[in-house]
Structure 1
Amino acid sequence: MIWTLEKQECIDAAGENNFVPSGIAFFPLNTVAQTRNFHFLLLPRFTMLAFSAAIEPLRIANQLTGKCLYRWHLMSEDGAAVQCSNGISLPADSAIGPLTRNDTLLVCSGLNGYSAARSRSLDAIRRHIRQGGSVGGICTGAYSLARVGILSGKRVTLHWENLQAFVEQYPYLEVSGQLFEIDGLVITCGGGVSSVDMMLALIATDHGTDLANMVADMCVLGMQRNNDTGQRKSIAAVINTRNPSLIEAVRIMNDKLEDKVPLCDIALQVNLSNRQLERLFNRYLGTSPAKYYKNIRLDFGRSLVCGTELAMSEIAFACGFRSTTNFTKNYRDRFGENPCNRGSTARYHRPDTAKP
């Protein structure tokens, strides 16, 4: 094999080829391509699945073509190893520092995504976007991007579990529930295997859809999903019924968490009597509409408790409870703990939600 200069640049000091492993499958790429560098900023308790799902398509693209199309570099705030949400620690290649304009910086976070990044990381993100570099968020990485004020006018996404809390905290931002979003220099995804979908879209842009499709095959992904695909199943799939009245009633409940709609009004909107609505919920969901509605609002409350630093009174109001006492009692009944026990990183004050 003839080693090109491009490929030599992907060999480490020990002479080992880190970025272009050999494999059986092959994809001929005859065009000369400039290597693209991805820098992954690992924040405490980041999600390993989302992180590895972002790196593997890059590795596979290199392996298939035999070219160093991509390099990746792992960073942490201080250069030390970072513990994932599953308890496994991954070593970083370096502490976060200045990047070149052509580099892509991806923020990887997971649990406590709203507070995972410290000032040094936030400064580095801000500096990179100001010099014209591309930045992104994986799983809950959009929180760090929002905190540095670079998402105004951008369409972004993050993991569906944190989506409603993010919207509550940053109501002026345009947030979607899609698998991923690529809006200019800002790229975000919902984490999990959606990281693969986002990277396939970038590979397709860089080197064509044929290579992206073959990378998808190597991932045993099947059909490549685009950014028009939502992260979650439809309401019909979630509640396992196609009854249109029940689907519509559940949709109304999900849409009206803060301004709770009386059950009699919901029944009227779906052309049912109160008694028919009760029977429908008990038959298909095994509970009353009142309890189902309350549980939806409590689940939303839990996402705010665990994913924001909003005051307890604000959380109670946001999910349709008119007093902190009432919210706390119902929260304890559902989850077996008080909402105030939300971890040492939380503080009871409103976060910075001023427009950048």
Structure 2
Amino acid sequence: MADDSFVQKGAAANLAVPFEGEPQDFYFLLLPKATMLPVAAAIEPLRIANQVTGTRLYRWYIMTEDGQPLHCSNGMVITPDTPLQPLPSDSLGFVCAGVEPHNAASEVTLNWLRRESRFGRSIGGICTGAFALAQSGLIKNHKFTLHWENQPGFLESYPNLEPSPNIFEISGPLMTCGGGNAATDMMLHLIEERHGKQLAIIVADMCLHVRSGGQAAPQKSNYAVAIGSRNQRLLNALQLMQESIEEPLSIGELCDRLDISRRQLERLFSRYLNQSPMHVYFDMRLSHAFALMNETSMSVTEIALASGFNSATHFSRQFKRKFGASPHFFRKGWS
């Protein structure tokens, strides 16, 4: 890629940013079926920072393991700039994944991540890139995150590594984000650290992006937003259900924990969700199983137990009722 392609003309007035030195390089390693949105959301703030300053502050390169074009999760093909290569000393490297992340990284990629970490490079994960970081042993005691949809499967594979619910985390040399527009927030944070708040604000405005308020912002809307109610007893019930997936509580145990009568609990769920408490709870457990089916290599029996079903047969029947295919056929269709 020619250097002049990193600085483009735009209608916005140039912002003078005092800067001397070499541009900072970003390398994005795309794994098979990587999600395109967060990759673009990470690169665009770098491009816009160059555009609005008229200065080559950043350069960015796409890598694949072998330098060959790669299919993203939406079927589009990305042609990389380079195969895996050693990173320059001041550069940042990000591994970008998407669907089916548990086996997306080959041993070649994992060894590359370990080698770059040993040489002191800052390494990050975008969307589900944390799977590769965990496989390569780079997470250790660092705070990290990945897309909320993939966190249940990640925890089953790596029970000693607890991802953050936040949109992004920067912990020493490790940088991770939950994907989607969270990649933009993480890049704006890095831009602000290196070149100041004013530039980060202008870049955010150019992206038509409202900043989240920092890395501590949660990835998901809370239950109050999701269900359109701030009834605290209902919110407490949903939270308790979510925390008790593997060992589900009976409705009596729920009522005891919540200090509410069964009749009150059923009225709450009927009024706000138009469903019974146990129906909501049951669907919650099946959704958890669906995530594990997609994101792990656990057996159907293991997934049934992890979702609170004592019988694999009963689990398979209910899974088929909700998703239209038995777990075995569902997994076969996605393999």
Shared fold, TM over 0.5:
yes
TM-score by structure 2 length? 0.95
Q: How many residues align?
A: 333
Partner in structure 1 of residue 182 of structure 2: 194
Amino acid at match of 2:5: N
Query: What are the within-5 Å matches in structure 2 for residues 258-277 of structure 1?
Result: 258-277=246-265
Q: Distance in 1 between matches of 2:189 and 2:21?
A: 17
Q: Distance in 1 between matches of 2:334 and 2:171?
A: 31
8 Å Cα contact 1:154-1:174 kept in structure 2: no
Q: Distance in 2 between matches of 1:110 and 1:144?
A: 11
8 Å Cα contact 1:216-1:224 kept in structure 2: no
Residues 1:75 and 2:63 are matched in the alignment: yes
Report the 3-state secondary structure (helix = DSSP H, G, I; strand = E; otherwise coil) of the residue aligned with 2:208.
coil
Tell me by how many angstroms 1:323 deviates.
2.1
Q: Distance in 2 between matches of 1:100 and 1:36?
A: 9
User: What stretches of structure 2 of length at least 5 have no aligned partner?
Assistant: none
Deviates more, 1:47-56 or 1:309-318: 309-318
Partner in structure 1 of residue 35 of structure 2: 47
Partner in structure 2 of residue 22 of structure 1: 9
Amino acid at match of 1:200: L
Residues 1:160 and 2:143 are matched in the alignment: no
Equivalent in 275, 297, 322 of residue 310 of structure 2? 322
Q: Distance in 2 between matches of 1:261 and 1:294?
A: 11
8 Å Cα contact 1:82-1:91 kept in structure 2: yes
Report the 3-state secondary structure (helix = DSSP H, G, I; strand = E; otherwise coil) of the residue aligned with 1:23.
coil
Tell me by how many angstroms 1:274 deviates.
1.1
Equivalent in 19, 41, 62 of residue 31 of structure 1? 19
Richer in helix (by share) = 2
Equivalent in 77, 92, 103 of residue 104 of structure 1? 92
Partner in structure 2 of residue 289 of structure 1: 277
Tell me by how many angstroms 1:312 deviates.
2.0
Amino acid at match of 1:84: C
Amino acid at match of 1:17: D
Partner in structure 1 of residue 107 of structure 2: 119
Amino acid at match of 1:281: F
8 Å Cα contact 1:155-1:173 kept in structure 2: no
Q: Distance in 2 between matches of 1:267 and 1:239?
A: 20
User: What stretches of structure 1 of length at least 5 have no aligned partner?
Assistant: 1-10, 347-356
Partner in structure 1 of residue 51 of structure 2: 63
Residues 1:208 and 2:208 are matched in the alignment: no
Amino acid at match of 1:235: Y
Q: Distance in 2 between matches of 1:176 and 1:137?
A: 13
Q: Distance in 1 between matches of 2:104 and 2:333?
A: 12
Q: Distance in 2 between matches of 1:269 and 1:222?
A: 39
Partner in structure 2 of residue 302 of structure 1: 290
Tell me by how many angstroms 1:103 deviates.
1.9
Q: Distance in 2 between matches of 1:45 and 1:345?
A: 13
Tell me by how many angstroms 1:343 deviates.
4.5
Cα displacement string for residues 154-180 of structure 1 (whole angstroms, at most 9, x for unaligned residues): 111011100121122111113101000
Amino acid at match of 2:188: L
Q: Distance in 1 between matches of 2:332 and 2:102?
A: 13
Tell me by how many angstroms 1:23 deviates.
1.5
Q: Distance in 1 between matches of 2:146 and 2:265?
A: 34
Equivalent in 130, 142, 154 of residue 142 of structure 1? 130
8 Å Cα contact 2:304-2:310 kept in structure 1: yes
Q: Distance in 2 between matches of 1:271 and 1:35?
A: 59
Cα displacement string for residues 315-353 of structure 1 (whole angstroms, at most 9, x for unaligned residues): 11111111221211111111111112325786xxxxxxx
